[in-house]
Structure 1
């Protein structure tokens, strides 16, 4: 399908990669559902996109991923819509300098960077399977660290790099499970490391910039709309190339354990059987 015929949800669309991707896809004429936690920034983004691209098929949804109830409410609002062709799980926080807890008492990075991806992927699966060619793009990272299931919330020893990298690996593990569930259902589900150390707010001040935001947008947009990738699923990409993720991503027992933990923490079950496309 042409991007002009698709409805796409981008989480974390008010800054960085998400904002630049919104510009790219709005220019292409896609219908966009844009998410952020700040309503004022959302209004500014919509005005900017309409002025610069002429695209009027844009809406904004507010949700703070530090609260599970808000994540669930966002998923339910989008699930009530008539159509969704692509889910881009992009929202996230970077390497934090000090430990933080979510409103639900969970390690904040794990909730924002991973549990939100899990919840939205589960809640929106029925709608995605009704698309002629659905896609899920999970914006992960080459920075990956294994989960210690005895201390996922890092209560014994918190480290910002570990918190970020384990959440990003969890996204990839979910990608593989979700792809297996929907194989043959017409939904392509992939994860990617878009580019290294782009000049975004989660990088500036912590790391030296190595890549442009434009590079990250190009690699992400490719998974969103490249017809050649319509049937590629269950793959981790490092930029534009398929790559090998951390070995824990291929451990089926670890993935099963992660899904059970995710359901326990969010109260949202992983779809048990593939839904039938309408």
Structure 2
């Protein structure tokens, strides 16, 4: 069956390998990829051999840009699947999104929620990348990430927290807990019409997630931590990407709403099952993004629209 996919976070690491694998093994797949700088679609076409790849200029830290990108994709195709793989971790100090929100929350939570709001009624499947940092224990994050600290969504969205590396990494793990809450609530509200999954790549060095960190952390991430892929503690970006590709395009591995660790459904943290938080976050994200029907569309256009 022919598919049209909208994918974020395909420019490097896990997302790049996943996109190449999906395009190479599914000749009928048409893919729109968000791209801040241009050239991604051309590179994916060349690498995969699939000509049906189109770039869409989008800044996921701007809700107007997200709306415009989704609008122009929907003008050109019926989107049947969504992969929200883009993720941001800010460790050099708190930053504001274009809309005045804490930027980690804006990119990792609000952008995914808004894209699902805009294209959700067309979808058969949606996969959003989560992280086992949401567990907050040594077993799952090797002590490399602080535990999430949940607060009311309005507080999580405020950019006035401390400008420290620990605060930035805490915002990241908390945003990934929020992703799981959103997936649970989306699955509940969509019923059987769309399969929605949170997907965990595990510990994957070399993805570029630490590009905002200091020199010593960037060196360790690039030169030291990749050695862990030789052990059971970690997998390579290519291996993780191939797992994501199968979850996004293959037969469903679990019921909608499930947390999928690489290729297998598992139970997420005990704290990630909280219907009240799930409902409150969903409703807050609706308010922060603008209720359906209030979206307005800017002038962004796909960098290479299909004929």
Shorter-chain TM-score above 0.5: yes
1:31-72 deviation digits (Å, cap 9, x = unpaired)? 111112112xxx2x3333333332111111011112111011
Aligned pairs (5 A) from 1:241-260: 241-260=264-283
1:156, CA displacement in angstroms? 4.5
Asked if the contact 1:75–1:119 (Cα under 8 Å) also holds between the matched residues in 2, the reply is: no
Q: Which has the higher contact order (CA 8 A, sep 6+)?
A: 2
Distance 2:292 2:278 in 1: 14
5 Å-filtered alignment, 1:1-278, equals 1=1, 5-28=2-25, 29=27, 30-39=29-38, 43=39, 45-128=40-123, 134-144=124-134, 145-149=148-152, 151-152=155-156, 153=158, 155-157=160-162, 159-185=167-193, 187-203=194-210, 205=218, 207=221, 208-209=225-226, 210-229=234-253, 232-269=255-292
Q: How far does the alpha carbon of each residue in 1:85-110 deviate from its partner, in whole angstroms, 9 at most, with x for none? A: 21000112124231111121110100
Give CA-to-partner distance per residue, 1:99-153, whole Å, 9 cap, x none: 111121110100011100000011111221xxxxx11000110111242116313
- Secondary structure of 2:60's counterpart equals coil
How far apart, in 2, do the equivalents of 1:50 and 1:216 lie?
Answer: 21
Helix, strand or coil for the counterpart of 2:196? strand
The 1-side partners of 2:186 and 2:82 are apart by 13
**Shift of residue 218 of structure 1?**
2.0
**Paired residues of 2:103 and 2:159 also in contact (CA < 8 A):** no
Contact 1:75 1:124 in 2 (8 A): yes
2:44 and 2:161 mapped to 1: Cα distance?
45
Contact 2:95–2:103 (Cα < 8 Å) also in 1: yes
Whether the 8 Å CA contact 1:194–1:216 is kept in 2: the answer is yes
Q: Is the 8 A contact 1:248 1:254 kept in 2?
A: no
Deviates more, 1:207-216 or 1:103-112: 207-216
| C-alpha RMSD of matched pairs (Å) | 2.1
Q: TM-score, normalised on structure 1?
A: 0.85
Query: Number of residues paired by the alignment?
Result: 256
Structure 1: stretches of 5+ with no match in the other structure: 129-133, 271-278
Alpha carbons 1:78, 1:124 under 8 Å: kept: no
Q: Which runs of 4+ in 1 moved over 6 A?
A: none
CA offset at residue 234 of structure 1? 0.7
TM-score of the aligned structures, taking structure 2 as reference length:
0.77
